[in-house]
Amino acid sequence: MRRFALAIVAAVLLIGLAGGVARAAASASPSPGAEKKVLRIGITQDVDSLNPFVGYSVPAYEVYHLNYDMLVGYAPNGDVRPEVADSWSTSPDGLVWTFKIHPGMKWQDGQPVTANDVAFTYNYIIDNDLSAFSTYTVNMKKAVAVDDSTVKFYLSKPKSNMLRLWIPIVPEHVWSNISGKSAGNDFQNKPPVIGSGPFQVVDIKKGEYVRMVANKDYWKGAPKIDEIIFEVYTNQDTMTMDLKSGNIDVAFGVPVAQFNALKSEPGITATAAQQKYLVELAMNTYASPNSLANPVLQDMKFRQAISWAVDKQKIVATCMGGYADVGESILVPSTDDAWTPTDAEKFGYDLEKAKQLLDAAGYKDSNGDGVREDKKGKPIELRLWTRSESPEQQRAGKLLAGSFKSIGIDIVLTVSNDGSISDGIWNYKGSTYAPDFDMFVWGWSGNIDPDYMLADFITSQIEMWNDCCWSSAEYDKLYQDQASATDPAVRKGQVTRMQQLFYEEAPYAVLYYPRALIAYNTGKWEGWVPYPSANGLVVLSGDNIDSYVQVRPKAATTQTSQSSSTAPIVIAVVVALVVIVIVLLLVRPFRGRAVEE
């Protein structure tokens, strides 16, 4: 009886202890309604800079649009819609545009957003020739704030893309203190970043994360979540595992090998999303003594010849698992103005033809050692770089290296990160531009309007967006013509010729147009907004940011988490009862054993 009484006392104490632990656990975590609603997004490319005048990565542009508003934005279907500007009109000759600013907007530090900020932003770019956005200000003389709610743009010629200017509006009271030279070079724009958008960057750690908090005073209405954290991964498989385990809510850039398996994962939606993106083999064509590239790449006939050694079909099948289309033009097929070469114009895959063209251009293997020589008799060796951030592009690089070696071009294949490749593209000797690369595999995110991609390859963009350093007087003139074309049919013809010219001279071999392999949690979150179609991106599109504003935890998720708070108490009671049973069982054998003895 004494043992039984002790068992009861022990059980009661255990129940009390367990109940206390359960209560302590419950009190340690605030109720779900009080918890921060944090959306975690896995990315494999870092935000290279918080300064919108120098950044280039896809995640960086996403952060810019979340932190800053643009004059005119993008609806989920891709149409233009009001952002900073509520409305706009143009003069009959197309040389004056008037925009009315949305009333009552505020910067994230509380100061009002006015037409002066809009005028300042555009004049800042024009006056300082800030290359990141200078192609958008072509034909633009100046912007003038008529009053706090009205801004006028004065043009030298009509502007065909006036409503498609991807330019973040920055606060004059912040950026007027920063010289244009610094803004275009070394200004860091450290957090907290002052903008007018739905979120604000408050913390960043290079190579690890960017943290943004919701702007509760956002003029379109407060986001339904409290924070966004972009988490940078160096391994796609680890990112995918973290999505499955619930450590992140979105994985952007899922490995092809794991993508199909994710389709059957409960609570996860895996989509091969439509995107405006291309992956290319870029060649350094810089015609300057300062170039550190192999001079053979300046020869259009050499570039055309090796373009015949690019097996695009195989790259799509083996590197992308079929989740891509074969590449041709620098405008993606989903763009209305995209051009497709005819069979007579197209660079197919034909190794024998590639060899014949190299022979005809004077690049022969005179020694019979399997390596061709340049016109000075030096064996041709080219550096080919692929990105550590993309296993798919690394595999494409291996296929390219194999094909090029089979036609007599010696290849040194290297896997480098984005920063190292960028250092080679934008290398300087003192103050003199000296691009130090031969070829690399990388990609471009495009835009609805063709001007965005076409502008990147005009001569004046060498040292900025023109990463292949290609120059063509005909192309430059066509760009100026299409920028001011008011007749859509005339402009389409000019845009088509620009694509043809770029393709013919082959500074790029466009490899493929990939689908964005993205997976996101639809068991926990709702309110996702795909862009620019039902099969589009819910995040990382750069243009549309509606998902971030609309996404929210599912109500069922909250109810589940509330009911789960009783679980520790239930477990504690069950454990206590088990202990009672065990003690009683121990008491009975002792008593029986005494009888036997």
Count the neighbouring beta carbons within 10 Å of the beta carbon of residue 303. Answer: 24
Query: What value does the mean pLDDT take over residues 460-473?
Result: 96
CA distance 196 to 203: 17
Of the candidate CATH numbers 3.90.76.10, 3.40.30.10, 3.40.50.920, 3.30.390.10, the domain formed by 69-188 belongs to 3.90.76.10
User: Do residues 294 and 381 lie in contact, with contact meaning Cβ atoms separated by under 8 Å?
Assistant: yes
CA 416 to chain centre: 18
Q: Which helix (H) or strand (E) holds 13?
A: helix 2-28
The domain ranges of the chain are 2-30+565-596, 36-68+197-274+520-553, 69-188, 277-514
User: Matching CATH topology for 36-68+197-274+520-553 and 69-188?
Assistant: no
Q: Which of 71-80, 104-113, 371-380, 570-579 has the lowest mean pLDDT?
A: 570-579
Q: What is the largest CA-CA distance in the chain?
A: 116
Among 238, 276, 242, 327, CA closest to 509? 327
User: Do residues 121 and 134 make contact, with C-beta atoms less than 8 angstroms apart?
Assistant: no
Per the rule left: phi > 0, alpha: psi between -120 and 50, beta: everything else, 104 is left
Q: What is the pLDDT of residue 34?
A: 57
Q: To which CATH superfamily is domain 36-68+197-274+520-553 assigned?
A: Periplasmic binding protein-like II (3.40.190.10)
Q: What are phi and psi of 506, to 5 degrees?
A: 55, 45
Query: pLDDT tens digits for 532-547?
Result: 878 899 999 999 999 9
The stretch 550-573 carries a mean pLDDT of 56
Q: Compute the distance between CA of residue 552 and CA of residue 537 in angstroms, rounded to an integer.
A: 17
In the predicted model, is pLDDT for residue 82 greater than 80?
Answer: yes
**Residue 582 predicted with pLDDT over 90:** no
pLDDT band at 556 (very low <50, low <70, confident <90, very high): low
Task: Look at the domain 277-514 and name its fold.
Answer: Dipeptide-binding Protein; domain 3 (3.10.105)
Residue 19 has pLDDT above 70, yes or no: no
Distance of alpha carbon 207 from alpha carbon 395, whole angstroms: 23
Please compute the mean of the pLDDT values over residues 27-49 and round it to a whole number. 75
| Mean pLDDT over the full length of the chain | 89
pLDDT in tens, 84-103: 999 999 999 999 999 999 99
